[in-house]
Amino acid sequence: MTLAWNGGHQVRIRSNGWVHRLLRRRAAEGRQIEQELALYKFALENAYEGIVVADAKGYVLSVSRTYASFLQTEVGAMIGKHVTEVIPNTRLHIVAETGKAEIADLQQIHGHWMIASRIPIRSGGELIAVVGKIMFQDIDRLFEMNAKYRDVLPHLHYGEAKSRDASGAKYGMEHLIGDSEPMRRLKTMAVKVAKSGSTVLISGESGTGKELLAHAIHRESDRRFGPFVAVNCSAIPETLFESELFGYKEGAFTGARRIGKKGKFAQAGKGTIFLDEIGELPPAQQAKLLRALQEKEIEPVGADKPEPIDVRVIAATNRDLELLVTEGKFRRDLYYRLHVIPLHIPPLRERMDDLPALLRTLLPQLEGETGIQVERVSEPCERQLLAYDWPGNVRELRSVLERALYMMDGSVLESVTLPRQAPVTKAEGRPQKNAPLMDGTGSWKERMAEYEKKLLVEALERSKGDRRKAASLLGMSKSSLYQKAEQYGIGDEPGSE
């Protein structure tokens, strides 16, 4: 060997020293690499999050204990196995083939939905491994969040607007039809405030879509995966208010459920509570609500200490709350608590530009519900719709159209039946309330129904939409008023409470 030629011994010694140094360096580097590898392995296996690393062929190289225990197995039982053997519904091997990352994809494991990302790792352009990661910061909350994801899945995947999501919010901003200037401004503002988490007070006449807007705000907010709980303040008997809203503890009163009951505030935890018809709340209940909102805590009936709440409040009213405050009927301090971000939905008559868009949306919906096809709305009919001033707003428009479909001959909507006090032209302004009764046509039954309806509309107008007051003006119970109003399509909707 050349080393032996010239002073070979010396060379050998020098050479040996060089080799030794090299070997020592290599050994040191090797130890360092080994240590680093051990460190990474330890970090990966003990990662708080669910992580798995597979080679380019899909065989597991490494996996975190969190992931292994989520899969109800052990790290050792997974290493070296093909991902398809150890991870249900995995796509890691597919990502290894396609080389395309899949970010935030839904994956079902043992009946639970989770969100996973799969990322290919390349070295020198060559795919050498794939990393799978469960995208949850807090693995303890995985199962809890899974339950919510399972229900919102149809929305996430298909944008299926009508189906209910886990949170209970049925509608999104896209359901609030209207491209008139005031509606566009309202929607832009609503999207902005949705993110803020502040308390919102929605005002507007009955049937303008206040509840719909509340749903949409929840769905736009960061709380969208949390629950949306609607409470109709006028529908809760005063004696049940506290237990309904704040819940009760085991044995709080005779007849209380053994395990107690969560109130609406607790049910809405990490989500939104929608307090509809807030203007109807009697004074004692206003005080209780104020306390809860002020202190951000509730005291369930029979509890020995208050419980903190984490809810976003959206309230709605068709009353003039400010007027109620000046009349001493609504607490000023509660008003200020609620009136943080006011959103007003203008009545339909002030945004008739929305009528075409509403017809385009409502008619196909009604076609679907009734099975009756409408080809188009005739021009005279459109004029008729434009001339009416819609005291019941979009809800009334929907009912009028629905009735008209049943009355229609053929597939063109030629006319609709509107309440008799409807003006013929816009210039005539508000409905004529005192048209002589004998002017009507039709059978006795039809004319009596017309009269009843007229009375209802008038009472509701006089009471500014306050159904409780309208019922008392007419000397009837609130439930009869609801029934009649529903029958004539001018009252509250079933299920909207």
Ligand X SMILES: Nc1ncnc2c1ncn2[C@@H]1O[C@H](COP(=O)(O)OP(=O)(O)OP(=O)(O)O)[C@@H](O)[C@H]1O
Closest CA to 170 of 218, 202, 210: 218
Residue 156 interacts with ligand X (CB under 6 A): yes or no: no
From 90, 206, 272, 286, residue interacting with ligand X (rule: CB under 6 A): 206
Q: What is the DSSP string of 5-54?
A: HTTHHHHHHHHHHHHHHHHHHHHHHHHHHHHHHHHHHHHHHT-SS-EEEE
Which part of the chain contacts ligand X (CB under 6 A), choosing from 56-64, 170-178, 233-241, 285-293? 170-178
Residue 272 interacts with ligand X (CB under 6 A): yes or no: no
Residue 105 or 461: the one with the smaller Cβ distance to ligand X is 461
Beta strands in 218-304, from DSSP E residues, in sequence order: 228-232, 247-248, 261-262, 272-276, 297-298
Residue 382 or 493: the one with the smaller Cβ distance to ligand X is 493
Do 12 and 20 touch, CB atoms closer than 8 A?
A: no
Residue 211 interacts with ligand X (CB under 6 A): yes or no: yes
From 204, 263, 271, 391, residue interacting with ligand X (rule: CB under 6 A): 204
Residue 148 or 210: the one with the smaller Cβ distance to ligand X is 210
Residue 167 interacts with ligand X (CB under 6 A): yes or no: no
Which part of the chain contacts ligand X (CB under 6 A), choosing from 78-86, 204-212, 421-429, 449-457? 204-212
Residue 299 or 354: the one with the smaller Cβ distance to ligand X is 354
State the DSSP code for 346: P
Ranked by CB distance to ligand X, the top (closest) residue is 209
Residue 492 interacts with ligand X (CB under 6 A): yes or no: yes
Residue 117 makes CB contacts below 8 A (sequence gap 6+) with 101, 102, 103, 104, 105, 132, 133, 135
x-marked contacts with ligand X along 296-325 as a string, rule CB under 6 A = ----------------------x-------
Phi, psi of 54, rounded to the nearest 5 degrees: -120, 155
Angle at 495 between CA 148 and CA 357, to 5 degrees: 90
Residue 496 interacts with ligand X (CB under 6 A): yes or no: yes
Tell me, by CB under 6 A, how many residues bind ligand X. Answer: 20
Q: How far apart are CA 494 and CA 482, in angstroms?
A: 9
From 210, 261, 264, 337, residue interacting with ligand X (rule: CB under 6 A): 210
Residue 90 interacts with ligand X (CB under 6 A): yes or no: no
From 177, 301, 325, 372, residue interacting with ligand X (rule: CB under 6 A): 177
Q: How far apart are CA 363 and CA 384, in angstroms?
A: 16
Strand 51-55 relative to strand 60-63, pairing: antiparallel
Do 228 and 271 touch, CB atoms closer than 8 A?
A: yes
Residue 247 interacts with ligand X (CB under 6 A): yes or no: no
Residue 395 interacts with ligand X (CB under 6 A): yes or no: yes
From 168, 207, 347, 419, residue interacting with ligand X (rule: CB under 6 A): 207
Residue 394 interacts with ligand X (CB under 6 A): yes or no: yes
Strand 200-203 relative to strand 247-248, pairing: unpaired
Enumerate binding residues for ligand X (CB under 6 A).
Answer: 175-178, 204, 206-212, 276, 318, 394-395, 398, 492-493, 496
